[in-house]
Each structure stands twice: as structure tokens, then as C-alpha cells.
Structure 1
Amino acid sequence: MERWYGLRKTFLLLLLLIVELSFSQVFFSTVDDLHEIVSNYLSLSEDPIVVAYSIDPEYLGLRNARMACEVPIEGAFVHISEGLLHSKFMVLDEQTVIFGSANFNQPSLEEHINNLIVFHSREIASFFKSIYNWLVYETTPRDHLKTREGEFFLVPISNVEKVFIDTLWKARKYVFICSYAFTDEDIFATLKFLSSEGVRIYIITDKWFESSRLKSLPLETFDVLEVKEPLMHHKFLVVDGKILITGSANFTESGFHKNVEIVFKTSNKEYVESFVEEFERIWRGYFVQGVRF
């Protein structure tokens, strides 16, 4: 009987793991251990592709991964062009993608405020793999991919600034913006007009905002929170609790037009609600990575 209960417990644990690995999930450093999540997925992968501005292979325990990055490391393709390689993603065994605002190093996964989304889709994995091939082998990638999960856009090929602004024009009640860097004047002008029409504008930025030219412009009609510590590295937008745009791109000219970035737009209720909850956690000053700001 005792053995039967032991087998039953093992079976249930395996079932829970299978369920977890079968559905897309959203993770935030405010409530989740991003390093553990990434490590667990990597431990199950035989063929990982890792792309990010900064990668620490030793920290991640990477051995045979294909890597592309901006900050040079041994064994990786190093990106050199006018814009930065600023996207952050992993493709695991051509069926799982880990994507978000976090670089794959210790500070980003353990200290900074970041998010990761895990997709289980061969279609999405193929799109992300094509971006790696574009960087390394100069093959022509698709500029965007539309799926059941939402739509992905590749910068600088897609005009994501237009995607953001077209989405903002749909706002009737409120806009949440959470971005490490916010300097784009067209986005700012759109927000000012929406504010004059009665739309509430809430912005969370990092202390980096102190150096932005927008800081000197009239902000009286916006609700703005500057996070002093830890580093606030999110990049996302929520409109009326109905539409989410997130990814690697900051709200800057470079992020929208020059860097290699990936942006994800969705109306999926679970994704949108997760990011609304994250915005509210930060806004209310909950403990984040062990530090209250």
C-alpha cells in the first residue's frame, strides 16, 4: 500500500510537470525565480539557441548552445551593426521559446525587475529560430508572425512604433506604460492628446528617466512613478486591460527603429491580466527582488 501511494505521488508530480510544460506561461521576477525557471528548461533541452544583448554561459550552465549576443563572449556569434542586438530569447529543441525583457545573466535574472513568457509552439519556435539564422547566416526572416497567442514583430524590419501608436489610439479609459527607457516623442505626444481626452495615463520608468528629455516636458496630467531600485527593466504597454504589447524594445527611437528587437502584441486575456497585476504590484510598492522602493 505504501509503495502504491509512492507511485501515485510520483505520477501526479510528473503529470503536473507535463501540464506546466504544455501551456504558455508568464513569469515575473517580482513573484518568480527567473533563474530557476530558465535553468529547469535548459536542463531538459538538447539543442538550445540563446540570443540576447548579454549572455553568461557559465552562470546558465550552457555547454553546446548556439549563441548570438551584443556583448562579446567566447563561442558566440557577436552582432556588429548600427543598432544593438537587444532582443532576448531562447529556442529549445525547436518547440519551446523563452522570451521577454530579461538578459540571460545573473543581474537580469536575479536582481532586476523583468518578465519572461514561455511559449510551447513549433510555429513560434520556427519564427524565433529564423531570427537567429538571420543574425548569423544573413538569411531573410519574416517581419512578423501572427498566431493564436498573438502577433510577433521583428525590429528594425517592422515599424513597431506604428503598432504602438495605433494601439494607443484605441484607449478609452487608461494606459499603463512600464519601460526602463522612455524617450520617444511621438509616443509622448499621443499620450498627451489621449490625456486631454480624459484617458488616464500611468507610467512606470526606471531612474534612468531622469536623463530623458521628456522629463523636462509637462507631465502634470500623467501619473508617473520612477523606480529608484532595483533596476526596472520591463518594457510593456497595456490599453484598457484589453491589449498588451511587450518584448525587448524600450520606448525609444533606437528601440523602435534601429535595434534588433522582438515585440509581442496580444489580446489574450490571461496575458493581459498578468501584466496588469504586475503593473499594480510595482505601483503599490510591493517587495521586488528583496527590495522595497
Structure 2
Amino acid sequence: MPLYCGLVLLCAACDVAPPQAQPTVLPAAGDAAIQVFFTRPQDPDDPGRHTDGVDQYVIAAIENAAISVDIAAYDINLQSVTDALLAAKLRGVLVRVVTDSDNLGRSPIAQLRSVGITVTSDERTALMHDKFIVVDGAIMFTGSWNPTDNDTWRNNNNLLRITAPPIVQNFVVEFAEMLQPAGFGPRSPATTPFASTAVDGVLVETYFSPEDGVAAHILGELRSAQHSVHFMAFSFTRQDFADVLLERVAAGVSVSGVFEERLLSEQGRKVFERLRSAGVAVLADGNRYTMHHKVFVIDATTVVTGSYNFSASAEDSNDENVVILHGPALAGLYETEFDEVWARAARAAVP
């Protein structure tokens, strides 16, 4: 199956397929401050080929942890990550987990608790939907990926590895907030220390929901589009996002997107049909499992990604995290991923 390969500044593609989930690196070889990985769902899934997944990069960081591992994830059931966390705890690393209360019954959670790992949940109807991991206060992973079997092997996901200290610190602060009594939902304080910072020529914005008004920031990016907007949406029910996309279409901007087919329920279908009836190129995804991205790519220079679905609950009640990255090299990698997801959706749409 096709994969991206090579360094961002050295080559855009190559003919020899590298191992599954090989990283694409920004901006050069070595310990780059920002790296991005994409899952490669198998169709159909074959457990016998569950090797070289995106989890390997998280596991490597956990295995090298000397002080702490903090993980905030909606769901955790991937045994490889669970084993790495258990081993870290047993060698004296401080391991802390925050997850959604709906998923506390998972067997891996019981395994973690059995060795004394603290597991905190939100205990709310709304979701603790964040997806980030901080290792030693120095390495941070985020994106659409949960450490689960489905998200690693079957679903389309993206995972960023970031080592820039200001950005990592944003997530250190957010994790600490969730350990406090008022740390979830609308009561969570807006205390992000470095909401906007430059990393190797890439401007990175960090926002948390619901306290940071994420929708307004995304709407601002969409309104700035001059040439193109490409999106991959697990859930897209926000009419205000659709409003702005249609405004940009009227201004001559090319807009196209892929929706997760299973989420085209009543509200999702309304947005899908509204865009399609206005001439926007939209498709239902072609992954028999799940297209789990929550991504906008704007003018091939800006990427919006994270845990935040394009929904009211993501804005108003769930705990979510978003990064907005301004840089053409990084955006180009997400454009390539969009092309892959679009092509798969187009093949599935052919009778």
C-alpha cells in the first residue's frame, strides 16, 4: 500500500514503499521539533500484520522516560502501550492517566490500576475527549489518535510528535488542570501559557475546549482561505463552519472534503447535503472501518488538527485539544494524506 516517504525539505515522494507508518519529518533529519505520522488502515484488517504502527513512536518515548508519563485519552485499550506504561511504572517513572469515565471498565485500565498507576476520569455526561501524551515534560504527542487497536490498525488517524518546549508546556499545564476538582468542561480555566509560538519557522497555535473558544479560531482560519480548503471530518455537524465554507466557495475558493460515512446521521447528513447541493465536492469515506481525522488544510499552508470534532459538543462541553500549524511543508503532508483519503472515498463511490 502507498506510503509517504522522505524528508520534507528533500523529497516529496519516492517509488520504493518504506515500512508501514514511516514518519514524515519537519523540517530535517535528526531530532526535529515537529514530526507527523499517519496510520495505514488495512482492508481487511489482518492482526498478523500488526507491526510498524504509529504506536511504536509513542512506545519508544515511554520506554525512554526517566521521570514521568502523562496520558490524556478518551479511550485506551492498546496492549502495546499498556505494557509500556506498566514497565515504566515498575522502573520508578511517575505514570498518570486521564480518561473518559465511560471507558473506565476497559481491561487495560484495570491493569494500570493494579500496579498503582493513578487513573482520573471526568465523571460527566460530556466527554473527556482529549488525545495527548507528555513524556518527561519534554515530548508531546497529539492528533486524532487514541491508543486503541482500532485507531492504530483500522482507522485513519494522524499523530504529531512535538518537542518544542513552549508547546509541550501548554499540555503539561492542561494535564495538571484535569487533576484538579474543577478541571473538566466549562469550569476548566483558560491558562494556556503559550497559545501562539514559532517552531522552526512554523507558527503553532494551541487551544483547549471548552475554555478557549476553539470554534472562533477555526472560523477565523476558514475565513482567511484564498485558494483552497480540504477537510477530513469524522463528525461535521456545525452549520457555522458550513456557512463560512460556502462563503469562501462564493468567493472562488476551492472546497472539498471527506465525511466519515457512519456519522452521516441526521445532523451530519444535513451539512453533507447542504455542501453538496451548493456544488462543493464532498464524499463519504471509503474505509470500511473509520475515517477518524478532524482536519482542515487551508491554502496548502495551514493545518487544523487534534481531538476536536466539528460539533457543538466539542465546542461547548467536551474536553478537547486543537493545534493550528502554519507552514507549507507540514501542510503538504496533510494534503498528501487528504489525497489518499479522497482517492479511497472516490473508489468506494463508484457503483
TM-score of the aligned structures, taking structure 1 as reference length: 0.85
**Alpha-carbon distance between aligned partners in 1 of 2:230 and 2:266, rounded to the nearest angstrom:** 19
2:59 aligned to 39, 55, 68, which one? Answer: 39
- Match in the other structure for 2:245: 191
**Alpha-carbon distance between aligned partners in 2 of 1:252 and 1:260, rounded to the nearest angstrom:** 13
Tell me by how many angstroms 1:256 deviates.
2.0
Tell me by how many angstroms 1:257 deviates.
2.2
- Match in the other structure for 2:299: 240
Q: Judging changes above 3 Å, is the alpha-carbon distance between structure 1 residues 210 and 112 closer, same or farther for their aligned structure 2 residues?
A: same
CA deviation string 1:192-245 (max 9, x = no partner): 222222222111111123204242443231111211423100011011112111
**Alpha-carbon distance between aligned partners in 2 of 1:240 and 1:183, rounded to the nearest angstrom:** 23
- Match in the other structure for 2:3: none
**Alpha-carbon distance between aligned partners in 1 of 2:297 and 2:168, rounded to the nearest angstrom:** 25
Tell me by how many angstroms 1:145 deviates.
2.0
Q: Which moved more, 1:79-88 or 1:274-283?
A: 79-88
- Match in the other structure for 1:170: 224
**Alpha-carbon distance between aligned partners in 1 of 2:62 and 2:153, rounded to the nearest angstrom:** 17
**Alpha-carbon distance between aligned partners in 2 of 1:117 and 1:69, rounded to the nearest angstrom:** 20
**Alpha-carbon distance between aligned partners in 1 of 2:313 and 2:154, rounded to the nearest angstrom:** 25
Any stretches of 5+ residues in structure 2 without a counterpart? 1-28, 42-51, 90-94, 114-118, 184-188
Identity of counterpart residues, as a percentage? Answer: 22
> What value does the CA root-mean-square deviation take over the aligned residues?
2.4
Tell me by how many angstroms 1:141 deviates.
5.3
- Match in the other structure for 2:116: none
Amino acid at match of 1:279: F
Tell me by how many angstroms 1:270 deviates.
2.3
After TM superposition, the structure 1 = structure 2 runs for residues 4-43 of structure 1, keeping only pairs within 5 Å, are: 20-30=30-40, 33-43=53-63
Q: Which moved more, 1:125-134 or 1:111-120?
A: 125-134
Aligned residue for 1:250, secondary structure, equals: coil
Amino acid at match of 1:92: V
**Alpha-carbon distance between aligned partners in 2 of 1:214 and 1:231, rounded to the nearest angstrom:** 15
Tell me by how many angstroms 1:25 deviates.
0.4
- Match in the other structure for 1:15: none
Amino acid at match of 2:341: I
**Alpha-carbon distance between aligned partners in 1 of 2:33 and 2:161, rounded to the nearest angstrom:** 8
CA deviation string 1:251-278 (max 9, x = no partner): 1011122211111112122221111111
- Match in the other structure for 2:336: 277
1:227 aligned to 285, 290, 297, which one? Answer: 285
**Alpha-carbon distance between aligned partners in 1 of 2:97 and 2:190, rounded to the nearest angstrom:** 18
**Alpha-carbon distance between aligned partners in 2 of 1:57 and 1:224, rounded to the nearest angstrom:** 32
- Match in the other structure for 2:69: 48
CA deviation string 1:146-202 (max 9, x = no partner): 221301001100111111111111112211111100000111111122222222211
Which is bigger in relative contact order (C-alpha 8 A, separation at least 6)? Answer: 1
Aligned residue for 1:285, secondary structure, equals: helix
- Match in the other structure for 2:262: 208
Residue 82 of structure 1 contacts residue 258 of structure 1 at CA under 8 Å; is this kept in 2?
no
**Alpha-carbon distance between aligned partners in 1 of 2:210 and 2:259, rounded to the nearest angstrom:** 23
2:316 aligned to 237, 246, 257, which one? Answer: 257
Q: Judging changes above 3 Å, is the alpha-carbon distance between structure 1 residues 22 and 251 closer, same or farther for their aligned structure 2 residues?
A: same
Determine whether 1:103 maps to 2:153. no
Aligned residue for 1:277, secondary structure, equals: helix
TM-score of the aligned structures, taking structure 2 as reference length: 0.72
Amino acid at match of 1:39: I
- Match in the other structure for 2:197: 147
2:124 aligned to 81, 99, 109, which one? Answer: 81
- Match in the other structure for 1:157: 211
Residue 89 of structure 1 contacts residue 98 of structure 1 at CA under 8 Å; is this kept in 2?
yes
Any stretches of 5+ residues in structure 1 without a counterpart? 1-18
Residue 182 of structure 1 contacts residue 212 of structure 1 at CA under 8 Å; is this kept in 2?
no
**Alpha-carbon distance between aligned partners in 2 of 1:109 and 1:30, rounded to the nearest angstrom:** 8
**Alpha-carbon distance between aligned partners in 1 of 2:267 and 2:65, rounded to the nearest angstrom:** 44
Residue 209 of structure 1 contacts residue 226 of structure 1 at CA under 8 Å; is this kept in 2?
no
Aligned residue for 2:168, secondary structure, equals: helix
Amino acid at match of 1:27: F
**Alpha-carbon distance between aligned partners in 2 of 1:42 and 1:106, rounded to the nearest angstrom:** 18
Q: Which moved more, 1:23-32 or 1:89-98?
A: 23-32
Detail structure 1 runs of 4+ shifted over 3 Å in the superposition.
19-23, 138-141
**Alpha-carbon distance between aligned partners in 1 of 2:135 and 2:266, rounded to the nearest angstrom:** 37
Aligned residue for 1:249, secondary structure, equals: coil
Q: Judging changes above 3 Å, is the alpha-carbon distance between structure 1 residues 214 and 21 closer, same or farther for their aligned structure 2 residues?
A: same
